[in-house]
Structure 1
Amino acid sequence: MKSLNANTQQNTSAPSIPQIPRMLPLKQVVHYTGLSSTTIYDMLDRRSKRYDPTFPVQVKLSKGRVAWVESEVADWIESKMVDRTH
């Protein structure tokens, strides 16, 4: 049996770990976007004059609890920043 030492090469590739999306509660979405909770829900309501089909849709986590995917909110904010230059 061989003993391992500092000069022995080892397989250092780790198994692939799935990326778990970070979920943001409404309070954080309000903070990051600068929008009120009322405006956010209006943007999600197809019947509202404020409806925005590009705004990320919340994920239902449990009865009475929803959250938004952080990367989707970040992408939406980034798209607004890009739009201001056009």
Structure 2
Amino acid sequence: MELLNANTQPNALTPSMPQIPRMLPLKQVVHYTGLSSTTIYDMLDRRSKRYDPTFPIQVKLSKGRVAWVESEVAQWIESKIATARVH
């Protein structure tokens, strides 16, 4: 699967630049997955009945600010699609 945002193509003029992972705020994770923010946090909570150890863990960017790595969210979505296609 291509990354969720098509604007992540490396710039041909700067081939030596490292690929910087794109970070998604909760609002975009909600949009891309179709899950609510409550469900997302339940999936991250080991005590929850909705806990999903395969769901990407958020990265703390600063005090009070977290985001998810776009490629990890994309891989999780792809795995869900693949699982649905097998069953």
Cα shift at 1:16: 2.1
Corresponding position of 1:73:
73
Q: TM-score, normalised by structure 2?
A: 0.81
Corresponding position of 1:50:
50
Q: Rg: which structure is higher?
A: 1
Query: Aligned partners of 2:69 and 2:20: how far apart in 1?
Result: 10
What is the aligned-residue RMSD (CA, Å)? 1.0
* Greater relative CO (CA pairs within 8 A, separation 6+): 2
Corresponding position of 1:20:
20
Stretches of structure 1 that go unaligned for 5 or more consecutive residues are 1-13
Identical residues among aligned pairs (%): 86
Query: Aligned partners of 1:66 and 1:24: how far apart in 2?
Result: 9
